[in-house]
């Protein structure tokens, strides 16, 4: 028996490429950060350090100064089973423990940095765990993930399988995280870490961005600051259920674990199969939360969000303009009106499809992706041509992962929806909505086909809004075998990514928005395939300032779809000036979400000028570096942020009055990210026709004054706002 184990371990090791000589200490560095692991052969892998970049000569210093973390790099449930851990399995013989030691280290270069793969095997069982680390050198990001394999006879059950563990030295450590609800996504909470276990978790099943978010910042030097103090940022790249746990126990550490949530998700791993966890991306910054955000933004623009090398079009989306009342006349009129204002892309939202069951209410037709000829007698191509005739592009809404109990699709394929045998289904939106079973390859083909058919028949569709409005109810698959039902939560998302990859392979150019009934699909699990996401179904400009602020902790402006909508706002009922609405929407990918024919002449005139001005600042916003200046969450009466281009020659500054009282003290705002030695000329943008530009317009200031002393804003009315462009002189 012993012999057999030994030979399988040897087999495993020899299969894993390199000869077994490596340096005991693995120093993994980016431009400004370092992670150090102690990988002694036949010893457990330890994490010694994560923080400011250290050089070769400081390796020993870490130990000499006793500042090494010296923790298992990937704690497992083993003989010391009293501690929180990252992995727990059941072996074929019923044994529930692991005892992992280092067997192999492989280092290689990548085009972004380097990859380090450290394989550990169980001392007794032919069970191997590889911890992977991949650096994005310039962006100061280290991605880490785990691969699990075994050679046991039969099935090993993975009961818990986190992507990562990170020990954080106790101190005045604060956690910042995002949470919310539909139309109230992305509230920000910052709290000091205290004893006990804090879990951030999601079990929506299909979208994971509505309530909590799998992205956190740890401020190591007390209350979070935008531009000071050490920060560790952490982002889980997974679109399904997750669990982020911080266990603050009797030790000197906060123990941070993150991965797929193991709720009803025991994974049955066959001999020779590899289970790969999602990636966890860490960044470290000495420049506060703002520094960590800018690292994530660069990483996102360099590949984690699709298509960021191209600037995004200004679009009008039909939803809040006509809702489901799509008809040819209105579509033509919206296209024409928007083109006249300088718009670049028109998107027809929900309501255009359904033959036997036309989509007149939200309770039918999903899955029946054919044009409703009564609403659009001349068909899709006519609208596309109309848009082109007006010099703008055309986009369309779909919700490919779902169907309704009233649809031709479910009549044809009742087995394609997730369902629990013998139980009445639980329905979502409209009292009829069901989720397709993406674990099933036939369903994956169908979903790929929806996009493929649209783009084959109409190759000049430039944009797709991919919506997802239903949770993963009815936990049961007719496709997966009985003993693999616990794979649904995981295999659903693997199926989704598989479809998205196929779409991207064939259609790299089309811009695709991830929408999840608002902000439900804000997730780095899928953003490598989507160009942008819908921040929220709430388009109220005031609340959007909070949402966009918090979302920008982790996501870049180019990915954030921000639309100017009607006033009073449809979600909050608040009335806000058009200028304020534009000034808020312009900090991301600008769009509109209203019926243009309801705008009066002066509103159209303002919108036309604002759209033209956005075009001039678009590169700075969509490709520039974000500096958040005054947080709306700090309740100072204002909020302010700015974008600066890479060589600090141009910048755009935004400020908003968040509340209004007589004689209230509005603080001076100090800019950031400029070059102290440069001089900048200020031009105010988006000035209403009946107003004068502010006192700063046309003046030239040094970067030093703008950053060290700051500017007075003179925001003298309710919902006053300013957009200032700064150009180096
Ligand atoms: C939810 C989305 O968030 C909205 O923008 C809109 O597309 C509706 N679905 C359409 O049903």
Residue-wise pLDDT for 664-674, tens only, equals 999 999 999 99
Residues identified as active-site = 467, 537
What number of other Cβ atoms are within 10 A of residue 64's Cβ?
10
Residue 516 CA, closest ligand 1 atom number: 3
What is the spatial distance between Cα 693 and Cα 689, in angstroms, rounded to a whole number? 10
Atom in ligand 1 nearest the alpha carbon of residue 397: 7
Q: In this structure, which residue's CA is closest to atom 9 in ligand 1?
A: 517
Q: What's the CATH code of the domain at 31? A: 2.70.98.60
CA distance 322 to 351: 10
The DSSP call for residue 117 is: E
Write out pLDDT tens, residues 692-715.
Answer: 999 999 999 999 999 999 999 989
Q: Is residue 378 part of a domain?
A: yes
Give, in order, the Cα–Cα distances in Å from 300 to each of 295, 639, 705: 9, 25, 32
Contact assessment for residue 271 and residue 153, using Cβ atoms and an 8 Å cutoff? yes
Do 619 and 676 sit in the same domain of this protein? no
Distance CA 300, CA 620 (A): 16
Where on the phi/psi map is residue 17: left (φ > 0), alpha (ψ -120 to 50), or beta? left
In the reported structure, the alpha carbon of residue 516 is separated from the centroid of ligand 1 by a whole-number distance in angstroms of 8
Q: Is the CB of 466 under 6 A from ligand 1?
A: no
Q: Is a pLDDT exceeding 80 seen at residue 21? A: no
Coil, helix or strand at residue 304: helix
pLDDT in tens, 605-653: 999 999 999 999 999 999 999 999 999 999 999 999 999 999 999 999 9
Distance (angstroms) between ligand 1 centre and the Cα of 384 equals 21
- Rounded to whole angstroms, the Cα distance separating 335 from 193 reads 52
Give 696's Cβ-side CA count (13 Å radius). 22
680 lies in some domain: yes
pLDDT tens digits for range 397-420: 999 999 999 999 999 999 999 999
Could you tell me if 493 and 464 are in contact, meaning their C-beta atoms sit under 8 angstroms apart?
no
Count CB-CB contacts under 10 A for residue 155.
17
* pLDDT at 14 (0 to 100): 41
Distance 319 CA to ligand 1 centre (A): 7
In contact, 204 and 295? CB cutoff 8 Å = no
Is any ligand 1 atom within 6 A of the Cβ of residue 395? no
Average pLDDT of the residues in 170-176: 97
In a domain, 220, yes or no: yes
**Mean of per-residue pLDDT scores for the chain:** 95
**Cβ pair 513, 558 in contact under 8 A:** no
Q: Is 162 in the pocket of ligand 1 (CB under 6 A)?
A: no
Is 399 near ligand 1, meaning CB less than 6 Å away? Answer: no
Looking from the CA of residue 537, the nearest atom of ligand 1 is: 3
User: Region 539-547: what's the mean pLDDT?
Assistant: 98
Q: Are residues 134 and 36 in the same domain?
A: yes
**Domain identity same for 14 and 53:** yes
Q: What is the pLDDT averaged over residues 335-342?
A: 98
pLDDT value at 378 more than 70 = yes
Residues 417 and 473 in one domain: yes
Kindly give the number of the ligand 1 atom that is closest to the alpha carbon of 323: 10
Query: Are residues 345 and 263 part of one domain?
Result: no
Q: List the CATH number of the domain containing 703.
A: 2.60.40.1180
509 and 658 co-located in one domain: no
| Domain end (from 569, 592, 623) | 623
Q: Is 624 in the pocket of ligand 1 (CB under 6 A)?
A: no
Answer yes or no: is pLDDT of 20 > 60: no
204 and 55 within one domain:
yes
Nearest CA to ligand 1 atom 1: 517
The yes-or-no verdict on residue 660 having pLDDT over 50 is: yes
Q: Is 549 close to ligand 1, i.e. is its CB under 6 Å away?
A: no
> Are 241 and 172 within one domain?
yes
Residue nearest to atom 10 of ligand 1 (CA): 350
Instruction: Give yes or no for residue 469 CB within 6 A of ligand 1.
Output: yes
Contact status, residue 557 vs residue 300, Cβ threshold 8 Å: no
Site to probe by mutation for ligand 1, drawn from 318, 319, 547 as the one with most ligand atoms within 8 Å of Cβ, is 319
Per-residue pLDDT averaged across 297-311, rounded?
97
In a domain, 309, yes or no: no
350 lines ligand 1 (CB under 6 A): yes
SS3 (DSSP) at 582: helix
Q: Using the predicted structure, report yes or no on whether residue 450 has a pLDDT greater than 80.
A: yes
Please indicate, yes or no, whether residues 428 and 297 belong to a single structural domain of this protein: no
Is residue 310 one of the residues assigned to a domain? Answer: no
How many other CB atoms sit within 10 Å of the CB of residue 692?
A: 9
- 335 shares a domain with 285: no
Residue 130 CB coordination number (10 Å): 20
Report CA(280)–ligand 1 centroid distance (Å): 30
Q: Among 304, 335, 360, identify where a domain stops.
A: 304
pLDDT at 5 over 70: no
Two structure tokens written together for 600:
């009066």
Of 623, 648, 672, which residue is a domain's last? 623
Contacts of 483 (CB under 8 A, 6+ apart): 268
pLDDT in tens, 209-223: 999 999 999 999 999
Distance 536 CA to ligand 1 centre (A): 10
How far, in Å, CA of 590 to CA of 652, rounded?
15
Instruction: Inform me whether the pLDDT recorded for 129 exceeds 80.
Output: yes
**Would residue 61 count as lying in a domain?**
yes
For residues 10-19, give the mean pLDDT: 41
Q: Examine residue 132 and state whether it is found in any structural domain, yes or no.
A: yes
Ligand 1 near 534 CB (within 6 A): yes
Which residue range forms the structural domain that includes residue 447? 315-623
Q: Check pocket membership of 349 for ligand 1, CB cut-off 6 A.
A: yes
Is the bond preceding 382 in cis, omega lying within 30 degrees of 0? no
CA-nearest residue, atom 6 of ligand 1: 319
Sequence-ordered list of residues with C-beta below 8 angstroms from that of 363, at least 6 positions apart, any chain: 404, 406, 429, 430, 431, 432, 433
Please determine, for residue 272, whether its predicted confidence score (pLDDT) is greater than 80.
yes
Which class for 437: exposed (0-12), middle (13-18), buried (19 or more C-beta within 10 A)? buried
581 and 606 inside one domain: yes
In this prediction, residue 67 has a pLDDT band, given cuts at 50, 70 and 90, of confident
* Residue 517 CB–ligand 1 contact under 6 Å: yes
Whether 30 is in a domain gets the answer yes
If asked whether residues 358 and 493 sit together in one domain, one would say yes
- Ligand 1 centroid to 504 CA: how many Å? 23
Tell me, what CATH number does 397's domain have? Answer: 3.20.20.70
Phi/psi class of residue 365: alpha, beta or left (left: φ > 0; alpha: ψ in -120 to 50)?
left
- pLDDT value for 22: 66
The torsion angles phi and psi of 230, rounded to 5 degrees, stand at: -85, 135
Q: How many domains does the chain have?
A: 3
Cβ atoms of 584 and 556 closer than 8 Å: no
- pTM (two decimals): 0.96
- H-type alpha helices, 646-702: none
Separation of CA 517 and ligand 1 centre (Å): 6
Q: How far is the CA of 324 from the centre of ligand 1 (A)?
A: 10
pLDDT band at residue 252, thresholds of 50, 70 and 90? very high
């Amino acid at each position: 028996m012993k012999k057999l184990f030994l030979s399988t371990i040897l087999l495993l090791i020899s299969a894993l490429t390199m000869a077994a000589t490596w340096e005991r200490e693995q120093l993994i560095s980016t431009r400004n950060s370092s992670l150090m692991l102690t990988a002694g052969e036949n010893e457990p892998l330890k994490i010694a350090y994560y923080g400011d970049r250290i050089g070769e000569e400081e390796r020993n210093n870490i130990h000499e100064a006793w500042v090494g973390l010296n923790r298992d790099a990937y704690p497992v449930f083993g003989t010391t089973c009293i501690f929180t851990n990252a992995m727990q399995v059941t072996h074929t013989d019923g044994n529930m423990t692991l005892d992992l030691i280092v067997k192999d280290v492989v280092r290689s270069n990548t085009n972004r940095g380097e990859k380090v793969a450290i394989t550990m095997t169980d001392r007794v069982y032919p069970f191997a765990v590889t911890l992977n680390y991949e650096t994005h050198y310039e962006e100061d990001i280290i991605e880490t993930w785990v691969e699990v394999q075994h050679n046991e006879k039969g099935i090993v059950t993975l009961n818990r399988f986190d992507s990562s563990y990170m020990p954080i030295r106790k101190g005045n450590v604060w956690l910042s995280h995002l949470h919310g609800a539909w139309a109230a996504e992305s509230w920000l909470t910052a709290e000091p870490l205290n004893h006990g276990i804090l879990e951030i978790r999601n079990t929506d099943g299909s979208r994971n961005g509505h309530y909590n978010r799998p992205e956190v910042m740890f401020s190591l030097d007390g209350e979070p600051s935008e531009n000071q103090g050490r920060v560790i940022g952490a982002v889980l790249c997974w679109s399904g259920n997750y669990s982020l746990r911080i266990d603050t126990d009797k030790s000197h550490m906060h123990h941070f674990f993150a991965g797929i949530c193991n709720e009803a998700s025991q994974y049955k791993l066959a001999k020779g199969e590899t289970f790969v966890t999602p990636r966890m991306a860490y960044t470290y910054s000495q420049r506060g939360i703002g520094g960590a955000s800018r690292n994530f933004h660069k990483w996102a623009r360099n590949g984690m969000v699709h298509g960021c090398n191209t600037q995004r079009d200004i679009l009008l989306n039909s939803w809040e303009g006509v809702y489901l009342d799509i008809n040819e006349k209105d579509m033509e009129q919206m296209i024409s009106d928007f083109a006249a204002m300088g718009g670049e892309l028109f998107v027809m939202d929900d309501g255009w499809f359904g033959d036997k069951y036309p989509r007149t209410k939200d309770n039918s037709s999903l899955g029946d992706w054919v044009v409703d000829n009564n609403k659009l007698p001349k068909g899709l191509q006519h609208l596309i041509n109309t848009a082109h005739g007006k010099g703008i592009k055309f986009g369309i809404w779909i919700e490919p992962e779902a169907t309704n109990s009233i649809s031709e699709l479910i009549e044809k394929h009742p087995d394609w929806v997730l369902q629990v045998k013998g139980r009445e289904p639980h329905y979502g939106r409209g009292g009829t909505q069901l989720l397709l079973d993406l674990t099933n390859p036939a369903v994956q083909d169908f979903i790929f086909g929806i996009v493929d058919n649209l783009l084959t028949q109409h190759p000049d569709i430039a944009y797709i809004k991919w919506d997802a409005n239903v949770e993963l109810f009815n936990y049961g698959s007719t496709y997966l075998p009985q003993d693999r039902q616990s794979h649904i939560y995981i295999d659903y998302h693997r199926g989704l990514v598989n479809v998205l990859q196929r779409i991207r392979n064939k259609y790299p150019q089309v811009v695709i928005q991830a929408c999840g009934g608002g902000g439900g699909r804000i997730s780095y699990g899928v953003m490598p395939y989507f160009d942008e996401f819908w921040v929220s179904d709430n388009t109220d400009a005031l609340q959007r300032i909070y949402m966009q602020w918090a979302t920008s902790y982790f996501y870049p402006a180019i990915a954030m779809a921000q639309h100017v909508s009607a006033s009073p706002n449809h979600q909050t009922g608040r009335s806000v000036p058009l200028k304020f609405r534009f000034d808020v929407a312009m900090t991301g990918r600008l769009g509109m979400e209203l019926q243009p024919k309801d705008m009066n002449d002066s509103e159209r005139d303002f919108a036309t000028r604002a759209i033209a001005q956005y075009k001039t600042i678009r590169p700075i916003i969509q490709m520039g570096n974000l500096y958040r200046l005054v947080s709306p969450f700090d309740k100072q009466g204002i909020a302010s942020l700015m974008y600066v281009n890479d060589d600090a020659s141009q910048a755009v500054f935004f400020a908003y009055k968040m509340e209004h009282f007589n004689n209230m003290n509005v603080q001076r705002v100090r800019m950031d990210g400029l070059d102290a030695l440069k001089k900048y000329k200020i031009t105010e943008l988006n000035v209403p026709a009946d107003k004068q530009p502010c006192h700063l317009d046309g003046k030239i200031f040094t970067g030093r004054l703008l950053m060290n002393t700051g500017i007075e804003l003179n925001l003298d009315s309710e919902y006053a706002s300013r957009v200032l462009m700064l150009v180096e002189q």
